[in-house]
Amino acid sequence: MFSLMLSLKEDIEGAITRDDVRAIVITGLKGKFSAGFDVTVFGGRRDNKEKRELGFMSIQFVTNTLEAARKPVVAAIEGPAFGGGLEIALVCLTELQYGILPGLGGTQRLPRLVGLRRALEMILMSKRVNGEEARNMSLVDAIVPADELPGVARQWALDMLECRRPWMISLYRTDKLEPLEEARTILKSARIEAQNQNPNVVHPFVCIDVIEQGIISGPHNALWKEAEALEVLRQSSTCRSLIHFFFSQREILKIPEMKLLPRKIEKVAVIGGGLNSCEIATMLVLESYRVVLKQKNKNNLLEEIGRVKENLQIHIKNGKSTQEGIEKAFDLLTGVLDYEKFKDVDLVIAAESESLLLKQNIFSDLEKLCPQHCIFATNTSRFSLKFLGEKTNCQNRISGIHFCLSPLMSIVEIVRTESTSPQVITNLIDFARKIRKTPIIVNEKKRFAIDDMFIKYLHAALVVAEHGVDVYRIDQALKDFGMRLGPFRMIDMVGFQTFAVSSKIFAESLVDRSYKPKLIPILQCQGFQVQMTKLSDAEMVEMILFPALNEACRLISEGIVIRSSDLDVASVVGMGFPAYRGGIIYWCNSFEPNYVNSRLEKWSKEYGEFFKPCDYMRELSANTVSLVSRI
């Protein structure tokens, strides 16, 4: 982006001096205006010339070249225009997602084009707007068909030259700005909201300060402050963490040796398994999938259909859907007692947890009845996928698909074996994205991998509570650290029954490092009050998160996950770990190599084997190698 802007600057300066050029149009190629800066230029410590000049390009190019041009300049936008590219056209800004602030004058021009309140919403929330919204808020001047865009843009520029259209410099407009006292009130509210949303980061507050300076002291001085702030923020740990998380999210969809096009999944069958199958069915019909819900008998089937209906009604109460939308979703659901409707399904999710023999027979029956492309997935982890497909000739179509702890959470674990075909995994990744879930690909183990990390986190919170710390204090300490929800609030959201079942499976599989919580039966029936201990909040956070980190190390050492960064994404998307810390693995980089291990060793002696560090953690500590540098 930087070299592109230098080239663009030279071209425009050349056009300005040419007598045969009357006006200038900036446009993109093949339906794309600009995707913004390459984020790899942010977050590093190298102080090269390109990085030093990033922020000051706002003044050198946008202000001194574009706005000061003696000829009209029109931006003809087709398709997306994000970040720095959008600051040239002033449409939307995504920089706060990377721990920085708009560095091409966006903090000064946007409030003057759309008003302070809307500008803060777009900048602080990185809100994207479509063309119609942009026109309604006077962010763009007109919308035209794509094939007419170049011609209309040229004519618009010539009309400006002939004074048939207004030729205004956005930097000095004030007609959309709120009165000063109202602006101060809006900025104060924005600071409070930023504090509530992200208490441990500074870049939203720096951004608000720069906007305020432009309103009070004038935009030109604020442009210099914007440029200086960008230089500081791009070298911050927050920026590096958010850039790491950004690339981790992109990497998660890249599976080695898989470059196949996905086959579309349109119809899904769910074989009943109580609350879980109802939640899965609800989620799928809300995403416009045709769903066949199978149960063993009529009473169970009617009960599950009733639960789906109740789940849909909750969406109306929460304002997430309308009555019409819910009715359309419910019409996509078909309840059955046999496999007749399975003849054209693309995916079967077996959500029940019956005996191995029964599940083997189900998969054998499905192979005979379902189309040859149909994927057979299990949502439980009690039995090996290899054993489940033992009576079939289609082990290449058998996989695990697990909605971690609850289908309500936005992460899904896709489990593969050595036999699972790349096409099946490709199809399931696409399916997960279509239902707005983040897919994590894992190699098979006896349990679902991501749940292990989550459950250790929740169990550690129970250990702390059972040793005398108030549950409300625990939740608040984790929220202050940056977790989206405290552990007990998360248990409440997931459901005590779901958590109890997951905990039982974990305990049965891993007797040596599991913990049998005594609080769950109490929490299920009544509240309680316990006495607080002298444990500091910082120690409490470590005591609750380090066991999850320890389990993550096991997953890495056992080759369960493809990349360690996948666990960073899982921790942020699933556990609610703060993205501005990079994820639970990346967070380790803030500690000395042996610190986590020594703390776990200490707690294991005081509180039992639950805290015992794994061999991989001990190896890292012995070699004084940080987890991040090793993996």
Active site (annotated) includes residue 592: no
CB atoms within 10 A of CB 375: 27
Residue 152: what are its φ and ψ, rounded to 5°? -65, -40
Residue 438, strand partner residues: 411
Q: CA–CA separation, 483 vs 580, rounded Å?
A: 11
DSSP string, 25-67: EEE-BTTB-B----GGGSS-----HHHHTTTTHIIIIIIIIII
And the tokens for 464? 């702390």
User: What's the distance, Cα to Cα, between the start and end of the chain in Å?
Assistant: 30
In the numeric block, the tokens 């593969």 are attached to: 416
Task: Characterize 212-223 residue by residue with b for buried, 16 or more Cβ atoms within 10 angstroms of its Cβ, and e for exposed.
Answer: bbbbeeebeebb
Q: Determine if residue 91 is left, alpha or beta; phi over 0 gives left, psi from -120 to 50 gives alpha, anything else beta.
A: alpha
**Alpha-carbon distances, residue 601 vs 456, 592, 598, 613 (angstroms):** 16, 15, 5, 6
* Identity of the amino acid at 554: R
Candidates 78, 95, 352, 542; catalytic one: 95
Active site (annotated) includes residue 133: no
Query: What's the Rg (C-alpha) of the chain?
Result: 28
Burial (0-12, 13-18, 19+ Cβ within 10 Å), 204 = buried
What are the residue ranges of helices labelled H in 53-140? 57, 83-89, 106-114, 116-124, 131-136
Secondary structure letter of residue 396 according to DSSP:
G
What is Dmax (Cα atoms) for the chain? 84
By three-state DSSP, how is residue 150 classified? helix
And the tokens for 169? 């410099």
Candidates 10, 13, 67, 87; catalytic one: 87
**Would you name the residues annotated as active-site residues?**
87, 95
